[in-house]
Structure 1
Amino acid sequence: MTELRVMPPRSHHQCVACSDNGLFNLRFYQDDETAVSAKVWLESAWQGYQDQLHGGVIATLLDAAFTHCTFLFAPQSVTASLNIRYHHPVPIAVEAEIRAWCVKAKHGMSQLEATLTVADTVCASATASFMRMRASKTS
């Protein structure tokens, strides 16, 4: 099976988290019709406490996964709410996997879940609501 890369819409090409010039150099791939995943090297420059990934970086990575998941079925969606559960400290200078999937999508709202995993251990999980943005009147 060939991996299918999830390509962000043109309006997302300057994203600080996931554009080609972004901080994390993320490449998301479609796992199935409603799920995406990416591997990311956790740089030591992103640490909070000694040898641990900063919680804000964890939140950003999970949010990027959610956003890429919405590209599959509701492009131009934005985060309405984000709830994170930090299960274990996330080490730095290791590879992690982030994965997001859609639980429900209806009337322009999407409910999603995600995980950040290091060495088969779920270190953080999250739930989020995304809402579809209205079309811009200017081009």
Structure 2
Amino acid sequence: MPPRSHHQCVACSDNGLFKLQFYQNDETAVSAKVWLESTWQGYQDQLHGGVIATLLDAALTHCTFLFAPQSVTASLNIRYHHPVPVAVEAETRAWCVKAKHGMSRLEATLTVAGTVCASATASFMQTRVS
């Protein structure tokens, strides 16, 4: 699913930090499970906010591969609902709300044990494949 230009991604490549493997849920959504390492914490026993942002952005980016293979984040707004624990499995999920004229609007969540701990809305713009 990812374009060749994405194979060295820090979040999801085989050599990346999280080694995320996204699965297509339907025609407009993707998801991945991830073990939240304790070394990724900010405050004790809580996942660092930057890691949360990266996981959400990675899901959003992978969602764009369904309809615009080479897109970049134009804006990213994150809402932190609950502290995210470490040393647990989480799921990140993203779906497309609207895509038109090379721009897309997407949403994503990071869920732990059935609780949405963080959510994001984002805009992406399609770029030329180099």
Q: For this structure pair, what is the TM-score category when the shorter chain's length is used for normalisation?
A: over 0.9
Cα distance in 1 for residues equivalent to 2:112 and 2:6: 27
Q: Deviations over 1:74-106 (max 9, x none)?
A: 010000000000000000000000000000000
Residue 20 of structure 1: CA displacement? 1.1
Query: What does 1:81-96 align with in structure 2 at a 5 Å threshold?
Result: 81-96=75-90
Q: Deviations over 1:16-55 (max 9, x none)?
A: 1111110001000000000000000000010000000000
The runs of at least 4 aligned residues of structure 1 exceeding 2 Å deviation read: none
Cα distance in 2 for residues equivalent to 1:25 and 1:14: 11
Cα distance in 2 for residues equivalent to 1:117 and 1:133: 30
Cα distance in 1 for residues equivalent to 2:108 and 2:99: 15
Runs of at least 5 residues in structure 1 that lack an aligned partner in the other structure: 1-6
Residue 8 of structure 1: CA displacement? 1.0
Structure having the higher Rg: 1
Of 26, 29, 33, which aligns to 2:23? 29
Runs of at least 5 residues in structure 2 that lack an aligned partner in the other structure: none
Cα distance in 1 for residues equivalent to 2:71 and 2:97: 15
RMSD: 1.1
Cα distance in 2 for residues equivalent to 1:96 and 1:54: 14
Q: What percent identity do the matched residue pairs reach? A: 91
TM-score, normalisation: structure 1: 0.92
TM-score, normalisation: structure 2: 0.98
Cα distance in 1 for residues equivalent to 2:65 and 2:127: 13
Number of paired residues?
130
Per the alignment, residue 72 of structure 1 pairs with 66
Cα distance in 2 for residues equivalent to 1:29 and 1:64: 13
Helix, strand or coil for the counterpart of 2:55?
A: helix
Q: Deviations over 1:110-132 (max 9, x none)?
A: 00000000000000000000000
Cα distance in 1 for residues equivalent to 2:19 and 2:101: 32
